[in-house]
Amino acid sequence: MDIYQFLSALLVLVIQGYPGWAQDTCDQCDCKLSSNDDKRAIFNVRTRCNTGAIEWSSAYGAIRLEVQPSVAGDFRLCIVVDSHHTVTQVSQEAPRTRRLKNYRLGLEELRLLSMSPLVSVGEGERSGEVCVSGRTRQPVLLFVEVERTNRFTGIPSVTLRYDVESLSDAMLYDPMEECRPCTQEEVLEAYCTSDFVAVGSMHKADEDSGTDHTKVQVAVAQLIHQNSPVFNRVRRDDRYLYGTIHVPGKCGVKAGKGDFLFTGRMRLGKPKLRCAPFFKDWLRISSLAECVYN
């Protein structure tokens, strides 16, 4: 047995070392799991969603997460992990095939399964954003394992947020593609499909420490739509709502003058800017929008 066969067999033994295996635990976008006893088990989670979260209370054992989103072509899967009263290790399963030569049977294929560590999250910590690539009909497989020791006295819990973005050919070849202004068609689509839509101005733009994003502080004069409380009232006597939107740091966004139509979506628990045309430019095309908000 060579080293590759040994490592493959060792990985199988490690997985089989768990006393329990929970099949098809959750197939929704947002899952809530709980390890209710002291037996280590592997929770099997499958999702075809593009965004969601897994909340794991009394965490013990591991989660095998299979992400096969409903996107065509290449995509990018990003995760953020919160770990409480435990240490959480996330790895990517990478199945591969090795061709072996057998003097009696000829060529054989040996299917191997390797683990590539992605991130380790300490007790009471939140990981940075970790991204891996994937392709259509090829699910991304993640293995989330916790370490429970006597050092931690509280109830261990883990929250893993995931988000999938389709990678167009332009994004694959031009890293600044997501920084360009939206086209008229993209603005109209964003207006009708975003998690938040508001009219307002930018007050400040700062680097988000520990990430590669910029935080843009926004004062909203007209709230058109929001699924989550992105913009909130700070004082009763103030007619503006205030909130923070996140933008990729490489875009070099600075606080500019004027009123804008801000559109965006919730990504990994944070509001991300999608399109932000000047409000006067939006008024010229607003009649073409195929949706109406109350």
Residue 227 has φ and ψ, to the nearest 5°, of -85, -30
pLDDT (0 to 100) of residue 101:
63
* Same-domain check for residues 15 and 149: yes
Both 33 and 127 in a single domain? Answer: yes
Q: Are residues 144 and 32 in the same domain?
A: yes
224 lies in the same domain as 158: no
Q: What are the pLDDT digits (tens) for 148-202?
A: 777 777 899 999 999 998 887 666 667 788 889 999 999 999 999 999 999 999 9
Mean pLDDT estimate for the chain: 85
Residues 159 and 275 placed together within one structural domain of the fold: no
Whether 172 is in a domain gets the answer no
Model pLDDT for residues 86-142, shown as the tens digit of each residue: 999 999 998 766 666 665 656 566 666 788 999 999 999 999 999 999 887 788 999
Domain annotation covers residue 35? yes
Which of helix, strand or coil describes residue 173?
A: helix
Amino acid making up residue 94: A
- Whether residue 110 lies inside any domain: the answer is yes
Which two structure tokens, joined as six digits, stand for 150? 């006597």
Asked whether residue 173 is domain-assigned, the answer is no
* Residues β-bridged to residue 91: 117, 143
201 and 229 in one domain?
A: yes
Tokens 């990994």 belong to residue: 268
Domain boundary among 166, 191, 208: 166
Residue pointed to by tokens 């689509």: 189
d(CA 53, CA 67): 12
Give how many domains the chain has, as a whole number. Answer: 2
CATH of the domain at 222: 2.40.50.120
Q: Are residues 207 and 93 part of one domain?
A: no
Domain extent, residue 246, equals: 178-288
Query: Quick one: average pLDDT of 226-246?
Result: 93
What's the first-to-final CA gap in the chain, in angstroms? 68
Name the 3-class secondary structure at 161.
strand
- Spatial CA neighbour of 119 closest among 151, 161, 156, 167: 161
